Structure 1
């Protein structure tokens, strides 16, 4: 049975970033807005189980957060700009909800604020994942491959720097966009990645995080329709999102690519993604960047009528290019899989040997060892893949596969 606490958690997960983004615009300070939203959530946890869930949970949290912000501002007795503060107080006292268009603009402002050049790239991503996605410091640490303590310090320093440097909460003017664009694209892609491949937890996907990333990518492309990078990021997200319905079965179990029902892939998203990719490549004179290469790989999968007809040599070529442009453990792992499909398990195992071990690295290695007939080693590798962060769906899939491999010994 769904409890009031469950509804609070769900409302914060779905609406939290929107409420925060608009509140930051009103109060002009990230930390104050975050504190106000947090106090509103605490009030909801105390009130809703007693008085019942309100008919409009988002409206309740929005209005309460505004009132909490007023309380916080009043506690700060000495503040410059009394006239400006009075205007803010009037805005905070409103009980209506902002329109969807205003909220979307506020979210885009928040992305650009997180991506100010005064902040380092890892800090930009960490701050965006915290404010836009609501990820915990532990989850952000998993995405950035660092520690929770280091992430906490990074977030604290970022908030102080934004306040001290008076970083404006706005979409920058046209002449500032080129310098800010790579970071904004990186943050939106990281937001989608965090939703599409969450670190730990029960859910295989955070659908709302994925949807929000697609929406922000769409807004960015609308803002800069002639720039290749936003089009490529949006293409990549759409081509990836198109395949999500087939990645889990009705029971929530993982369905591997070779067993997916391609009839469940979203043909409209695929067509739009390929169109955006082509436009992006033309705009960049076909000199592909990391997003274009990843989108091209996704497009190759989307074009294949079946797993057996997939052009693996072309996918391997694209991964080789990606590793030369933007090397990463994730790209290296996918490249090893493509090499195994194109040239046999031995080729994939050779590439894996140069990559750092992670739970997914062990899982991929287990599959390649099994293909090579080395079942005892495959069992050891898959057992190792169960140690460390993974979603419940991943753990169930690996445990079932482990039982299959043990039966072959």
Structure 2
């Protein structure tokens, strides 16, 4: 009940602020639009993905431009933005006003930054947005079919979309309702900052979350996800090998599963460590790690892009595929740049062989990457910026 009251108060407050910003914008529309405002974002709590790296590029290259990043006041990565300046906080008057007058709105996760409003006022706000809306993307589209949520007719951030390859562009055209001119094959901004920073041998265990399992409480302990990850962490052969070769294994749970960290702390030892959400961001973990063990996460492509080996542990392949109405655009057991297995012991064998080969990726992994990345030249931000300038 208390939460509902607080939420209602916030909605009422933001409705008033948004209404005042609309009035302000109505009388000062020309002046505000002349600023040529760019709004960039990811989620309320994130500054580590395509939004952050494109914002960083823009602020460093074009400090005179009115480029702003929207984020929540209590976001754990807020410090990464402060040195860049031009931060807009969620729910504030200036944020609402600048959204109305922005020339471009770019985000990885839609128009979540719009104010919480009562009744028809939210629809009015959406209609008043005059800027070009650009979806920056989050992961390689082929891995997960998001047509139900991200089709051009349904998704609000839908004027343009960023792709990493011609293959991905065709997916957007054939399945998401976009035309040729609405897709920027520029590559993802975050790939401009993917240099390795390996100082020790670290295996990063980073599985993605599972639908309908993010609010289970102690019932999570009965899920196959928990039991399989637990079994791998307790694998005696693996632990002995890690100890012998001086290798660390870091478990980093998806943001939606971070609340379950407490159930894994008991498995920590000198070789195994559970990474908390605020300790390291995803990019830092990818850079510092030697090998990745994931499953169906598009993070596989990020890691393989850095020319490092990936293992995809697909212990619940049938359940994962069958639980989704929309199937992936590729065969995720055969067409990803990774060593694929459903067997725990095979993971251990993979790790041993990779260590013998100094953790170099197989040729098959490198060949697979060519399908998903048109560019590997660290100029994705530049291409995206130039593409936006060509918008008519």
TM-score, normalising length from structure 1? Answer: 0.29
Q: Which has the higher strand share?
A: 2
Q: Which has the higher helix share?
A: 1
Q: Which has the higher contact order (CA 8 A, sep 6+)?
A: 2
TM-score by length of 2: 0.30
